Amino acid sequence: MSEYASAEIRRLVWSGFYDAPAVREIVLEEIFQPGEVDPDWVEQQIDAEFARKLEVERAWPLVTDCDKLDRAFDELNDNGIIALHNAGYTQDDGIEDVTEVYQELGGEDSSVEGYCFYHGQDLERAVDGEGLLLTFGDILGNDTKGEEIGERIVEALHRHGLAVTWSGTIAERIELPEIEWRRRYVA
Q: What is the pLDDT of residues 123-136, one digit of tens each?
A: 999 999 999 999 99
Domain stops at, among 17, 36, 57: 57
pTM of the model: 0.94
Q: What is the span of the domain harbouring residue 24? A: 2-57
Residues 27 and 104 in one domain: no
Strands (DSSP E) found in 14-173: 81-84, 114-117, 132-138
89 within a domain of the structure (yes/no): yes
| CA 187/CA 172 separation, integer angstroms | 35
Q: Are residues 75 and 159 in the same domain?
A: yes
Read off the pLDDT of residues 9-46 as tens digits, 9 standing for 90 and up.
999 999 999 999 999 999 999 998 888 889 999 999 99
74 lies in the same domain as 135: yes
Q: How many CA atoms lie within 13 A of 151 on its CB side?
A: 8
Which spans in 64-112 are helix H?
65-78, 91-104
Residue 181 lies in a domain: no
Rounded to the nearest 5 degrees, what angle is found at the Cα of 111, between the Cα atoms of 106 and 112? 85
Residue 45 falls inside a structural domain: yes
Q: How many CB atoms lie within 10 A of CB 56?
A: 11
Same-domain status, 122 and 147:
yes
Same domain (yes/no): 120, 52: no
Query: Is 160 found in the same domain as 89?
Result: yes
Query: What integer best gives the mean pLDDT of the chain?
Result: 96
115 within a domain of the structure (yes/no): yes
Question: Do 82 and 20 share a structural domain?
Answer: no
For residues 51 and 70, membership in a common domain is answered with no
Per the structure, the count of domains in the chain is: 2
Residues 83 and 39 occupy one common structural domain: no
Does residue 154 lie within any of the structural domains?
yes
Going by C-beta distance under 8 Å and a sequence separation of 6 or more, which residues neighbour residue 99? none
Same domain, 93 and 116: yes
Q: Are residues 127 and 156 in the same domain?
A: yes
Angle 52-42-57 (CA atoms, 0-180°, nearest 5)?
A: 15
pLDDT tens digits, 99-145: 999 999 999 999 999 999 999 999 999 999 999 999 999 999 999 99
